[in-house]
Amino acid sequence: MSLTLHVDGVRWRRHLRAMVEREPGLVPVAKGNGYGFGLGKLARRAQWLGVDTLAVGTYAEIGEVSKRFDGSILVLTPWREFLRPGYDERLIHTVSRLSDLEMLVAGPHRPRVVLERATSMRRHGMSARELRKAGDLLAKIPGVVLEGVALHLPLAQVSHLGEVNALLTDVVASGLKTTTIYVSHLSATELKQLRASWPDFTFRPRVGTDLWLGARDALTVSATVLDVHPVERGDAYGYRGRHAPAAGTIVIVSGGTAHGVGLVAPTGGSTLRNRASSVVRGGLDAMGLVRSPYIIDGKSRLFAEPPHMQASMLFLPSGSRVPAVGDQVELAVRFTITSFDKIVVS
Sequence-separated (6 or more) residues with CB below 8 Å from residue 172: none
206 belongs to the binding site for ligand PLP (CB under 6 A): yes
Residue 209 as a binder of ligand PLP (CB under 6 A): the answer is: yes
Q: Which of 76, 138, 164, 296 binds ligand PLP (CB under 6 A)?
A: 76
Q: In the set 152, 160, 204, 259, which binds ligand PLP (CB under 6 A)? A: 152
Measure the N-to-C terminal CA separation of the chain; round to a whole number of Å: 19
Q: Is 268 helix (H, G, I), strand (E, B) or coil?
A: coil
Tell me which DSSP letter residue 235 carries: -
Among the residue ranges 173-181, 204-212, 221-229, 272-280, the one whose residues contact ligand PLP (CB under 6 A): 204-212
User: Of the two residues 147 and 305, which places its CB atom closer to ligand PLP in the complex?
Assistant: 147
Which range binds ligand PLP by CB under 6 A, 18-26, 36-44, 200-208, 250-258?
Answer: 200-208
DSSP state letter for 334? -
Is there binding between residue 207 and ligand PLP (CB under 6 A)? yes
The least CB distance from residue 207 to ligand PLP, in Å, is 5
CA atoms within 13 A on the CB side of 30: 26
Q: Specify the residue, 74 or 221, whose C-beta has the smaller distance to ligand PLP.
A: 74
Between the alpha carbon of residue 32 and those of residues 18, 42, 56, 322, the distances in Å are 24, 11, 8, 37
Contact partners, residue 131, CB within 8 Å, separation at least 6: 115, 117, 149, 170, 171, 173, 174, 176
Torsional sign, CA 134, 137, 138, 139: positive
What is the CB neighbour count within 10 angstroms for residue 35? Answer: 20
Query: Nearer Cβ to ligand PLP, position 106 or 157?
Result: 157
Question: 6 or 31, CB closer to ligand PLP?
Answer: 31
Total number of residues that touch ligand PLP (CB under 6 A): 10
Q: Whose Cβ is closer to ligand PLP: residue 152's or residue 301's?
A: 152
| Closer CB to ligand PLP, 209 or 318, in the complex | 209
- Answer yes or no whether residue 124 interacts with ligand PLP by CB under 6 A: no
Q: Is 45 in the site for ligand PLP (CB under 6 A)?
A: no
Q: Which of 78, 208, 260, 323 binds ligand PLP (CB under 6 A)?
A: 208
Among 53, 96, 178, 184, binds ligand PLP (CB under 6 A): 184
Closest CB to ligand PLP among residues 95, 314: 95
> Residue 265, SS3?
coil
Q: Interface residues with ligand PLP (CB under 6 A)?
A: 29, 31, 76, 152, 184, 206-210
